Amino acid sequence: MDDDVHNDEGVEPNRLPELLGSVKNLAAFARETGISRRMLDRYKALRGEPSLSNAARIARALSLPIDALVQDIFVSGRQEGGAESDEKDHVSSIPLLDVIASAGPGIENPFPLAIDHLPFPKRWLDELGLPERYARFLGARGDSMEPTILDGAICLADIRFQVPRVDGVYALIDGNDVRIKRIARGWEGKIVLISDNERYESETLAAPDAEALRVAGKIVWSGGKI
């Protein structure tokens, strides 16, 4: 099922015609992505911009990181009537932390400061329910969270989550180490740390250790909504 096209105040996707134009069989590409041929034709003709999930499908099918797609697609825009719109009206500048979160045993990060800023569409933040001031990017390393989070991927964290109140994927702090794990809450205050790669065993924390668990944020996006 296709997502709605958003183009009332959207940003003109300036690379989609080029990228989709390089696809030899657009009908097959439509079947692969689950996006209709009609919708792809609209993207190709600049008559709409993709939602977060459709952009992720397109990037995945083209073997492109969606981070590149974000930086390249959502750069310039036009309002109705052809008037140029300001990039900052559509794109947020999200801090990239000096943190490499391990999808495994943990990587030391003594100075988790912002070292750069990366663009991210404001509409996608709205879709994620994430206010810009609570958004942070961090890198991931390791394969224990594949296929959800790939080795070397950029992750978007919602730093409002300092404790794992709901099940989900979190950036966890252990001393100076940062890890990314899926968390499931169990009985009697227990917490289970789960790897999405079945080759890695889950870890169960009893109530005292679970209560001491420090959370840096909830991972909500990594090449697609999580």
Structural domains in the chain (count) = 2
Q: HEC profile for 77-113?
A: EECCCCCEECHHHCEEEEEEEEEEEECCCCEECCCCC
pLDDT at 181: 93
- Is there a single domain that holds both residue 101 and residue 177? yes
Is residue 44 one of the residues assigned to a domain? Answer: yes
| Structural domain boundaries, residue 60 | 16-87
pLDDT means per 10 residues, the chain with 226 residues, are: 44 66 92 90 81 75 66 41 52 85 60 76 92 92 89 89 88 82 85 92 87 88 84
Of 34, 68, 87, the domain-final residue: 87
Distance CA 171, CA 157 (A): 8
Task: Tell me, yes or no, if the pTM score tops 0.85.
Answer: no
Contact 52, 42 (CB under 8 A): no
Please, are residues 29 and 39 in contact by the beta-carbon 8 Å criterion? no
Tell whether 179 and 215 lie within a shared domain: yes
Q: Is residue 41 part of a domain?
A: yes
**Alpha helices (H) in the chain, listed in sequence order:** 16-21, 26-33, 37-44, 52-61, 66-73, 122-128, 207-212
Distance CA 170, CA 139 (A): 13
Q: Which of helix, strand or coil describes residue 167? A: coil
Q: Indicate if 141 and 51 belong to the same structural domain.
A: no
* Pair 106, 190 in one domain: yes
Dihedrals phi, psi of 4, to nearest 5 degrees: -65, 150
How much is the pLDDT for 16?
A: 77
Q: Check whether residue 160 and residue 187 sit in a common domain.
A: yes
Q: In CATH, what number is assigned to the domain containing residue 126?
A: 2.10.109.10
For residues 101 and 195, membership in a common domain is answered with: yes
Three-state DSSP state, 49: strand
> What are the tokens at 80?
């109705």
User: Which residue, 24, 53, 87, sits at the end of a domain?
Assistant: 87
Residue 11 lies in a domain: no
Same domain for 125 and 79? no
pLDDT score, position 217: 93
Considering the domain boundaries, does residue 61 fall inside one? yes
Q: Is residue 8 part of a domain?
A: no
Q: CATH number of the domain that 45 lies in?
A: 1.10.260.40
Whether residues 188 and 135 share a domain: the answer is: yes
Q: Amino acid identity of 92?
A: S
For 165, residues 6+ apart whose C-beta sits below 8 A from its C-beta are none
Query: Phi, psi (5° rounding) for residue 96?
Result: -100, 115
Domain boundary, last residue among 87, 102, 124: 87
With CA atoms as reference, report the closest residue to 101 among 6, 1, 177: 177
